[in-house]
Structures are given as C-alpha cells and as structure tokens.
Chain A
C-alpha cells in the first residue's frame, strides 16, 4: 500500500547524507512532476531550490522538509477559509465546476459545517439536468437537516435560484448554497447559462453571489489550469475547493493554480461523508506533495 511504500522509502533514504547534485535535483523535480505540479512549475521550484542549496550534504529528510517549505510559501497566501459575511443575509454561495468533481457532495459538507457553526443553511437544487441530481441533493438536505429548494425536472435553473432567494429571505436563512449542473468550460452555451443564473440572482440582490466556488477534483492534471482560467473569466469565481484528496492523487496542480491565479483555496474534500471537509493547510498540503 501507499503508506508502507512511503515508510520503506523513508527508512532507506532518510538518514543517509548525500550531496544535493544535479542527479538528486532531477529526482526531486520528477517527484513534483509525478504529483501534477506540471513541468514548468516543477522546474521553477527546483531552480529556486538549487540556488540556495546546491552542493550541500543533506539527508533526504532535510531535503524534503526544505522543499515542502518552499512550496508551502507559494501556497500560504491562498490558504484562506470562506468567511460568511453576516452583512449579507442570506450570504449567497454559487457552486460551479466541470462534471463529477464533487459539487453536490461539497454542498452537503458545507451545509453540515455551517449548521454546526450555528448558521441556517438552505440548499438549492440548481442541477435540473442530470438524472437524479435533485434527489441526490435532497438526501444531503435530510442528512444535514437543511431545507432544499427544488423545481420540476428540466426547470430553468436561473428562475429556481431567484425563487430560492426570495424564500431564503422570508425564512431567515443565513447561507444559501446553490448547486449547479456540471459543465465543461469549453462549452460556451453551458457557460452562458451560468452567467444567466448570476444575472437573475442579481435582480434579487445586486451584491450576490457573495462567493462563487469552483470545485476541482484533485485527480485532474494540467487541464485544471484551463478550467480555472475559463470559469474565472466567465463567472468570476472567488475561490476553490479541492476534492478527493483522500485518494492517491496528490493535487499538485494547486501549486500551479496558486502561482497563476492566486485564488483562495477555501477547503479540501477528504471523503464522501458530511464531515469530510477540511481547511486548506498550506504546510500539510506541501508535505503531501513531496511525500513526507
């Protein structure tokens, strides 16, 4: 398994000192590439590392700790939780992303999180397209005791969102979490639909949505950069949530994203249950990437 492999790698390499030479740096660069940082970012991180430490006698453990530190510095500025500003009542959160990344599940987790924090979340089943998407969110509503606003099958998602905001205001909800259908960023018609949802929401509250979250699957490779670029351009996303970090994928693309866009990473998903949401911790994340 992964953990035993890590352990044995650690035992053979951890305490022997060797020179940090070209071959050793190349090996480190490959570790980063294998974690999905991308060739350019990996090369840049290693180049910075080389300037400060080349030629020294170091143990594997020291190298990895130092490298993780280097990466944590890139990630630290984006490690920012999602603050619910009570000035907006309800605080409207629109959840978007490509298909299957974990949007609906993440909404369930956020609902749980806010309910535990003493807020009243309300969920909106804005995916009126995919089979049983509404029922899926309704089950999350039951699990977290949050009300779910749903329309008829194939109903207009924008109209539903508008109606939901009216109800949320009337019923005194603190946070409204709007689920949307998964869509690939290169499909302009579907992206235009998302913009329409935002336009209609603004008829109710010109300051909404107060957060637009892109949910990203940690298994995704370099295409994540394109996803973020287009979603940012089209619907002005304000933050990211990275899911499926309980798997074998390390999610190194987040480093490239932090460098390129500087968008906050609010939280990470580490499982399929309501409690499986964690704050994004730059140091933990960096250590996970280099495998310490």
Chain B
C-alpha cells in the first residue's frame, strides 16, 4: 500500500523532470496527488486544505536542485512542511515541571486507550524519572474500569488509589489529590471515562474534574486509526479543557495515521507520546519525522533529496 502511493506520486512528479524552477501548473498537478494522498491517510479535509495552500506558496518558483527531479523536490518540500506541522524534529516530553503532586489528566473518546496509557505512563515516569506515581480511575461509567486500572497498576508495580464504591468522579479526583499529598506521591495520573465530544453532560463533568485537579498536563488520547472525525474531537476537547498534549495509540497497527496531523493542527498541542502495543512497556516518544513519512507513504525519496 505504501509503495503504491509512493509510485503514484513519483509517477506524476517524473513528468515534471528537467526544468529549472517549479512552475505554477506543475505544482498544482503534483499537489492534487498530495491532497489525495493526505486524504487517503485520513488527514481531515479542512486540515488538508490549509496544508496544501501553505505548501503551494513554498513550492511555486522554488529552485530545482541539479541532482533531483522536480517531483522529488516537491516531495521534499511537502515532507518538510509536514514534519514542521507535526511539531518539528525531536520529541516533546510530558511536563513534570510543577509542584508535587503533579496531576496528569487523561481524556478522550471511548476505547481510545486512556486506561492502558495511564498504566504505561505511570510505569514510565516511575522507572525513568524515578518519581512516585499514584494511579486513580475516575471512570464510574464503564463496567470494571476502575478494576482495570488497578490491575494494570499491579502489573506495572505502580500504586493505585483504593477503589471506593459510590463516589463521583470529582470526589475521586479530590481523594486522589489528598492521598497523594498525604502519602507524598510526586505524580497523580487521573484516568477518566471515555466520552463523546457531543455529550454535553459528560463534557461538563470532565470540566469539573479539570477545575478540581488543575492538571499540569491534560493529555488527549487518540486512536491512530481515527478518520475525518479527528477534527471534531480535537476541537471539542480542546475548547472544553485546553489540551496540553496528545497521545497517539495503536501506532503498532498499519494505519497511516493522518489523524496526528489533524489533531495537532486543530489543538496546536504537541503530540507527546505514541502507543505501540498492548503491553505496559509499549509507549514511545513521538517522532514527527517518522510519522510524516508514514502519512505520505514515502520511504527513500526524502533521504534522496537530503543527500543531494
């Protein structure tokens, strides 16, 4: 699948071979293919539009290097713009520069991977940063959700807040913070129930949780397989809560992951982490360069231009 796309792009681009600067018509033709490639990779339509406009500006009139084709030149321009949009080179760490206990709030749609990521993040902070982590599930909706986080905590060797039946999410958030202060935890990870961005009652609830917890990080957990709806979800959660970071789960799948670009474009928040499996260790830093190539379905073209 990746190869087919790459071929299609170079097919168009090869027709542009051997001219000094990139003309408007050439660029337009190439960008039609890029537009389709981005849409097929699930980048949301309004985000694609903005992106294409930006690339067009950069590409028209650009000097073509001797050793590459104009097509390869455009691919390079597109790729660079994509990396930039995804946050530039390198990874942005989870913010732990706050007074202990540092609250981290996990939010997102149903089934996106919040609880699993809470467990993974707890393990990571505890082992890598050597800080004491408390896990707390505020999910009173999904059957056995609190038990799920507790079991993940046991597997990871991270403490979880004792389950008390009948408490509201806000009450659990208060109890988690009290417990963390009293028992001197450095970080408190607050897992919340999955919710639809159009569910007004549950969006109010998570706002109330945010107000009580005053999190240092509000992480929006998103499935890498998400389609065009990514923009709606991103906008709604960001407007309601102010998202400070994004976690992209299921990057171990074969989705092209265009939702990453949509999420980032809409919220402006950096993608901080990538989930790469079901195991507790399967959490990695997010690398914009790699994901850009994945979205475009490009392998060596960029490297080729880089060497030129």
A52 at the interface (CB under 8 A from B): no
Interface contact A186-B227, CB-CB below 8 Å = no
B196 at the interface (CB under 8 A from A): yes
Q: Residue on B with the closest CB to A142?
A: B143
Interface contact A217-B228, CB-CB below 8 Å = no
B182 at the interface (CB under 8 A from A): no
In angstroms, Cα B251 to Cα A184, docked, is: 10
In angstroms, Cα B225 to Cα A253, docked, is: 12
B44 at the interface (CB under 8 A from A): yes
- 8 Å CB contacts to A: which residues of B188-233? 196-198, 200, 223, 225-229, 232-233
Interface contact A131-B225, CB-CB below 8 Å = no
In angstroms, Cα B250 to Cα A129, docked, is: 17
Q: Which of A33, A34, A217 contacts B111 (CB 8 A)?
A: A217
B144 at the interface (CB under 8 A from A): yes
Interface contact B143-A139, CB-CB below 8 Å = yes
Interface contact A219-B226, CB-CB below 8 Å = yes
Q: Which of B109, B200, B250 contacts A184 (CB 8 A)?
A: B250
Distance in Å: Cβ of B259 to nearest Cβ of chain A: 7
Interface contact A140-B111, CB-CB below 8 Å = no
**A244: B residues at CB distance < 8 A:** 109-111, 196
Interface contact A33-B39, CB-CB below 8 Å = yes
Interface contact A221-B278, CB-CB below 8 Å = no
B14 at the interface (CB under 8 A from A): no
- 8 Å CB contacts to B: which residues of A97-134? 98-102, 129-133
**A33: B residues at CB distance < 8 A:** 39, 45, 228
Q: Which of A34, A186, A221, A246 contacts B254 (CB 8 A)?
A: A186
Interface contact B44-A34, CB-CB below 8 Å = yes
Interface contact A100-B113, CB-CB below 8 Å = yes
Interface contact B198-A220, CB-CB below 8 Å = no
A38 at the interface (CB under 8 A from B): yes
- 8 Å CB contacts to B: which residues of A117-164? 129-133, 135-136, 138-140, 143
Known A-B contacts A100-B223, A246-B196, A248-B233; the reply to A221 vs B141 at CB < 8 A is no
Interface contact B148-A136, CB-CB below 8 Å = yes
In angstroms, Cα B44 to Cα A252, docked, is: 13
**A292: B residues at CB distance < 8 A:** none
A36 at the interface (CB under 8 A from B): yes
Q: Would you give the 0/1 interface string for A1-19, flagging 1 where the beta carbon is closer than 8 Å to chain B? A: 1100000000000000000
B104 at the interface (CB under 8 A from A): no
A188 at the interface (CB under 8 A from B): no
**B155: A residues at CB distance < 8 A:** 131
- 8 Å CB contacts to A: which residues of B105-146? 109-113, 115, 119, 141-145
Interface contact A272-B225, CB-CB below 8 Å = no
**B270: A residues at CB distance < 8 A:** none
Interface contact B109-A221, CB-CB below 8 Å = no
Interface contact B227-A135, CB-CB below 8 Å = no
Interface contact B253-A223, CB-CB below 8 Å = yes
**A207: B residues at CB distance < 8 A:** none
Interface contact A221-B225, CB-CB below 8 Å = yes
**A2: B residues at CB distance < 8 A:** 198
B152 at the interface (CB under 8 A from A): yes
Q: Which of B223, B227, B259 contacts A253 (CB 8 A)?
A: B227
In angstroms, Cα B228 to Cα A39, docked, is: 12
A70 at the interface (CB under 8 A from B): no
Q: Would you give the 0/1 interface string for B222-259, flagging 1 where the beta carbon is closer than 8 Å to chain A? A: 01011111001100100000000000001011111011
In angstroms, Cα B149 to Cα A130, docked, is: 11
In angstroms, Cα B148 to Cα A236, docked, is: 31
A222 at the interface (CB under 8 A from B): yes
In angstroms, Cα B229 to Cα A253, docked, is: 12
Interface contact B227-A249, CB-CB below 8 Å = yes
B42 at the interface (CB under 8 A from A): yes
A77 at the interface (CB under 8 A from B): no
In angstroms, Cα B36 to Cα A30, docked, is: 12
**A226: B residues at CB distance < 8 A:** 1, 254-255
**A129: B residues at CB distance < 8 A:** 278
Q: Which of A101, A140, A217, A247 contacts B196 (CB 8 A)?
A: A247
In angstroms, Cα B41 to Cα A127, docked, is: 31
**B112: A residues at CB distance < 8 A:** 100
Distance in Å: Cβ of A269 to nearest Cβ of chain B: 10
A228 at the interface (CB under 8 A from B): no
**B197: A residues at CB distance < 8 A:** 247-248
Q: Would you give the 0/1 interface string for A22-33, flagging 1 where the beta carbon is closer than 8 Å to chain B? A: 000000001001
In angstroms, Cα B233 to Cα A216, docked, is: 18
6 intermolecular pairs with C-beta atoms under 8 Å apart: A36-B227, A131-B149, A223-B253, A223-B256, A244-B196, A248-B229
Nearest first, the 7 A-B pairs at minimum CB distance are A221-B227, A100-B111, A221-B42, A139-B143, A249-B229, A132-B148, A223-B255
